[in-house]
Every structure is written in C-alpha cells, then in structure tokens.
Structure 1
Amino acid sequence: MDIAIFILIILFASILQTSTGFGFSIMATPFLLLLFNPVEAIQINLVLSIVISFAMIRTIHKDIDYQLLKRFSLGSVIGLPIGILILLFVDVDTLKIGIGLLILGLTLLLIIRFRVNRTSKRDITAGSISGALTSSIGMPGPPLLLYLSGTDTDKARLRSTTLAFYLLIYTVSLVLQISTIGTSISTWTLSLYGLPLVFAGLYIGQKLYHKINQQQFRLITYIILILTGLYLLFGSA
C-alpha cells in the first residue's frame, strides 16, 4: 500500500511541476511526510526536484528572466542558513501553522485581484523567504508563486525562472542538509526508485503545459496555494 501511495505521489507531483513550473514540493512533501521521517521526506523531495529541474533546463532556458533569477539567488543566500537553524531549533509544527495562515491570507488577496509592483528589494526578499522554506521544510514554491502571481508574471517566464532557481536552491539546500544533519542509504534508494516516475511525469507534464492557457494557469495556482495552506494549517494542528 505504501508503495502504491509513493508511486502516485511522485508521478502526480512530477506532472504538476513540469506543466506549471511549481508544485512538486507542494504536493510531494506533505504526503511523503506521512510515509517517512521528516529528514528522509525532505531529502527525497530535494533529490527528485533537482532531477526534474536539471532535465528541463535546456528546453526552458530561453524564457528565463536572468535578472530576476539573480535576485532570487542573492536572497536565497540569506535565507538558506536561516532555514537550517529553523529546522534544528524551531518546532516544525508551529512553523507550518504560521506559514499556512500566511499563504491562505495572501492567496485571498490574489483572488480579489490585489497586485504588487516588482522591485529589486522585493525580488530579493521573495528569494530569501523561499531559501528559508527550502532548507527548513523543503517547500520553496509558495513565496515565489505568491509573489510572481501578484505581479502578473506570464506563465512561460514564471515556469522557466522558478525551475532554474529551484535547480540552484535545491542543490545548495541538499548539500547544507547533508553536511549539517546527515543523510541515509534509504533516502537515496527511494530516490532511485522514484526516477522512472519522475521521467514519466516529465513527459506527461510537458504535453499538458501546451494545453494550459494563462487563465487556467492562474486557477491552478490558486487551487494549489489554498490546498497547501490548508494542509500546513490543519495537518499540523
């Protein structure tokens, strides 16, 4: 039963990540936490997310906003070590509840068409928050998704820039976790088992991407954010 659940989690999350540019961590991490201990779940998520981003980077590089990517990366330098400290010293359930409330509140603002202008400082701030969430709970997506949706970034640029950023931040986060917390053989064995599912998801997700228009993309974004916020809020209560 656990194997069937693992297959469904990785396959569906890979399809979502490939078709939208986000969603693997948002969908996979909560359910992986039900099957494995927190460190294993987060590191499996990191390894497979790196594979997805690396596999796609050659096909999406032309749509990357490199200035935005640079600012996100600069911000992540600040956020990543903060996330490690959070993972080591802060109660994770309390953190999840706080993040869940924040995501739900900000998603409501997006639904009612609240918009924000992009600035260099806001780009860096979004990157730093994403970095902290990556190394603490393995979820870099929500702050970037909220920020870029609030600035009406088109789907191609959002998908490409976030995937490029994930390739960097997941790799650095995994190295930080291994050097400070350690890893296990089972983490890498399970990640290896997940690779065929990831590549199947890459194929299906790429086909779906070309069928999703901007309005549908925005609707999917809101649904994912709401489900993430609710999970973090009630799954930790």
Structure 2
Amino acid sequence: MGIILFIVIILGASVLQTSTGFGFSIVATPFLLLLFSVTDAIQINLIFSLVISGALIFKIRSDIDMDVLKRLVVGSLVGMPVGIAIFMAVDLEKLKLAISLIILLLPVLLIFSFRINQTNKRDRFFGGVSGSLTTSIGMPGPPLLLYFSGTNIQKEKLRGTTLAFYLFIYSISLVLQLYFSGTNKTVWVSSALAMPFVLAGLYLGQLLFKRIDQLSFRFVTYGILLFTGLFLLFDNLS
C-alpha cells in the first residue's frame, strides 16, 4: 500500500509541476511526510524536482525572463543559508505544522485578490524567501506563486522563469542538505524506483499545459494549495 501511494504521489506531483511550474514540492512534500522522515522526504522532493526542472529547461527556455531570474538567484543566495539554519534548529514536527500553515495562507491571499507590484527589490526579496524555504522544507514554490500571481504574470512566463530558478536553487539546496544532514539508502533507492513515473508525469504534464487556459490555471492553483494545506494541517493536529 505504501509503495502504491508513493507512486501516485510522485506521478500526480510530476504532472502538476510540468503543467503549472510549481506543483511538485507543494503537492508531494505533505504526502511524502506520511511515508518518510522529514529529512528523507525533503531530499526525495529535491531530487525529483531537480530532475523535472532539468528535463524541461531547454524546451521552455524561450519563456524565461532572464532579468527576473538573475534577481531571484541573487536573493536566494542570501536566503538558503538562513533556511539551513532554521532546519537544523527547529523541531521537525513544528516544521511540518509551519509547512501546512504556509500552504493554507497562500490561497486565502490569492482568493481575496492579493496584489503586489513587481520591482527589482521585491524580486530579490521573494527570491530570498524562496531560497530559505527550499533549504528548510524543500518548498520554494509558495512565495513565488504568491508574488507572480499578484502581478498577473502569464502562465508561460511563470512556468519558464520559476523552473529555471528551481534548477539553480534545487541543485544548491540538495548539496547543502546532503552536507549538513547526510543521507541514506532509502532516499536513493526510493528515488530510483519512482523515476519512471516522474518521466511519465513529464509527458502527461506537457499535454495538460497545452489545454489549460489562464482562468483554469488559477483555479487549479487554489485547489492544490487548499487541499494539501488542509490535509497536512489535520495530519499534524491528529
């Protein structure tokens, strides 16, 4: 049963990551926490997210806003060490609760039409927040999703720029995680077993992306966030 659930999680999250540009870590992490320790779940998430970003980068490179990407990267270089410090210092159960609250806050702000003007400084700031969340909980997506949704960026530009940013940040974050937390056989065997389903998710996600319009894209975003946030919150409280 655990293996089947693991495969379903990875396949579904891969489809969402490919079609939306942010879905994998937000969807996969809460459910991976049911099957693995916090450290293992984060590392498995980083490995798969890195594979997906790397596989898509050449296909979607024309959609990347290079100026925004550079500012996000600069901000993340400040945020990643902060995230590692949080991960090493905070109780892991409290960290899981924090993940659920962060996820739940996002759709509330988005549904009530939270808007923020995009500036160079804010690009760097949200890059920094994203960097800290990547190394602490393996989830860079929430702050970028909130920021870019608030600016009404086109879905193609959102997916392209965030995937390029993830390729950089997941690479560095995985190295930092392995250095500070170590790793084990479970992480790499589980990742190898599920890799074919990641590849299947890449293919299915590309098909979905071509068929989803901007409005549907937004509703999918809200649904993903509400479902995963509530699920993880109730799991923590129980």
Per the normalisation by structure 1, the TM-score is 0.95
Structure 2 residue 162 is matched with structure 1 residue 154 = no
Structure 1 residues 114, 36: closer, same or farther in 2, change over 3 A? closer
- What's 2:186 paired with? 186
- What's 1:28 paired with? 28
- What's 1:124 paired with? 124
Q: Deviations over 1:182-211 (max 9, x none)?
A: 111221111111110010000011001000
CA distance in 2, matches of 1:91, 1:109: 27
Structure 1 residues 3, 90: closer, same or farther in 2, change over 3 A? same
Alpha-carbon offset, residue 103 of structure 1: 4.4
Structure 2 counterpart of 1:194, one-letter code:
A
Unaligned runs of 5+ in 2: none
Structure 1 residues 137, 148: closer, same or farther in 2, change over 3 A? same
Structure 1 residues 235, 133: closer, same or farther in 2, change over 3 A? farther
Structure 2 residue 211 is matched with structure 1 residue 211 = yes
Alpha-carbon offset, residue 179 of structure 1: 1.0
Kindly report the root-mean-square deviation, in angstroms, between the aligned alpha carbons of the 2 structures: 1.5
* Contact persistence 2:129–2:143 (CA under 8 A): yes
- What's 2:45 paired with? 45
Q: Which residues in structure 2 correspond to 1:6-155 (within 5 Å)?
A: 6-98=6-98, 100-155=100-155
Alpha-carbon offset, residue 232 of structure 1: 4.5
Structure 1 counterpart of 2:187, one-letter code:
T
CA distance in 2, matches of 1:66, 1:152: 18
Q: How many residues align?
A: 237
Structure 1 residues 124, 96: closer, same or farther in 2, change over 3 A? farther
CA distance in 2, matches of 1:104, 1:60: 29
Q: Deviations over 1:12-43 (max 9, x none)?
A: 01011111111101111111111111111111
* Contact persistence 1:19–1:205 (CA under 8 A): yes
- What's 1:200 paired with? 200
Alpha-carbon offset, residue 164 of structure 1: 0.6
Structure 2 counterpart of 1:216, one-letter code:
S
Alpha-carbon offset, residue 106 of structure 1: 4.3
Structure 1 residues 125, 228: closer, same or farther in 2, change over 3 A? farther
Q: Deviations over 1:216-236 (max 9, x none)?
A: 001111122223432443333
CA distance in 2, matches of 1:9, 1:103: 17
* Contact persistence 1:48–1:194 (CA under 8 A): no
CA distance in 2, matches of 1:105, 1:41: 22
* Contact persistence 2:17–2:23 (CA under 8 A): yes
CA distance in 2, matches of 1:233, 1:106: 14
Alpha-carbon offset, residue 99 of structure 1: 5.0
CA distance in 2, matches of 1:234, 1:132: 25
Q: Partner of 1:12: helix, strand, or coil?
A: helix
Structure 1 residues 79, 10: closer, same or farther in 2, change over 3 A? same
CA distance in 2, matches of 1:98, 1:7: 25
CA distance in 2, matches of 1:190, 1:108: 34
CA distance in 1, matches of 2:160, 2:174: 21
